Every structure is written in C-alpha cells, then in structure tokens.
Amino acid sequence: MKHSIWTYLLVMSAVTLAIRILPLTLIRRQIKSRFVRSFLFYVPYITLAVMTFPDIIHATQTPISGMLALIFGAILAWLGASLFKVSAFCCIVVFVAERFLIG
C-alpha cells in the first residue's frame, strides 16, 4: 500500500490547525470551572515531566544510576537547593554510581 506525502501533510496541517483554532472559536468567555482551570494550568508541567523523566533514567549507562540521580535530585530540590547545586550533585551521583556499578 503506497501513501502520498500530500495526504500526510494535509492530515498534519488539519490537526495542527484544529488544535490551535478550535479553542479560540469555541471558548468565548472566561473558564469558571476550577477543575478545568487547574487542569489547563498543569498541562505544560505534566507534558515536560512526561518528556523529561524517561530520558533522565535512560541517558546514563545504567538505569540504576539515572534513578539514583533522579531520587537525590528530587530530594535536594524539595529541600530548596538551587538548580546549579541539584544538577551538579546529580552529575556527581551518576559518576560515582557508574564507577561502582560498571567498574
């Protein structure tokens, strides 16, 4: 079965335009539902987390070192450490974990 590239481009552009135009045309006034507003508020954060967390674990040589860095980084961030300190500590955790796990 052979498909045309023009079909793919047409479907892609229709979906992209629908995602951008439909909310503007269908929602005319302010959204008052607390559930919908909180859902729309957290969508960018959830999307970023879904794209980032698997790569944190699989970017290292062993998934265990990535998981350790994720856990220790989350704890440091929870305790209020700066982004530089969290990322530096995570790099150190990965380095040490892979040194002992891989040899």
Look up residue 60 and give its DSSP letter. Answer: S
Q: Name the helix (H) or strand (E) containing 6.
A: helix 5-26
* pLDDT at site 103: 64
The pLDDT value recorded for residue 33 is 86
- Looking at residue 86, its pLDDT comes to 95
At residue 18, what is the residue type?
A
Which residues form the domain of 45?
Answer: 5-102
- Low-confidence spans in the chain with pLDDT less than 50: none
Q: In the numeric block, which tokens belong to residue 63?
A: 């998934």
Judge residue 90's burial from the number of C-beta atoms within 10 Å of its C-beta, 0-12 exposed, 13-18 middle, 19 or more buried.
Answer: buried
Total of domains in the chain: 1
Q: Give residue 48's pLDDT.
A: 87
The confidence score (pLDDT) of residue 1 equals 60
What DSSP designation does 73 have?
H
Q: Which pLDDT score is estimated for 6?
A: 92
Query: What is the crossing angle of helices 34-58 and 63-78, to 10°?
Result: 140
Whole-prediction pTM value?
Answer: 0.60
Residue pLDDT, tens place only, 50-77: 888 888 888 898 899 999 999 999 999 9
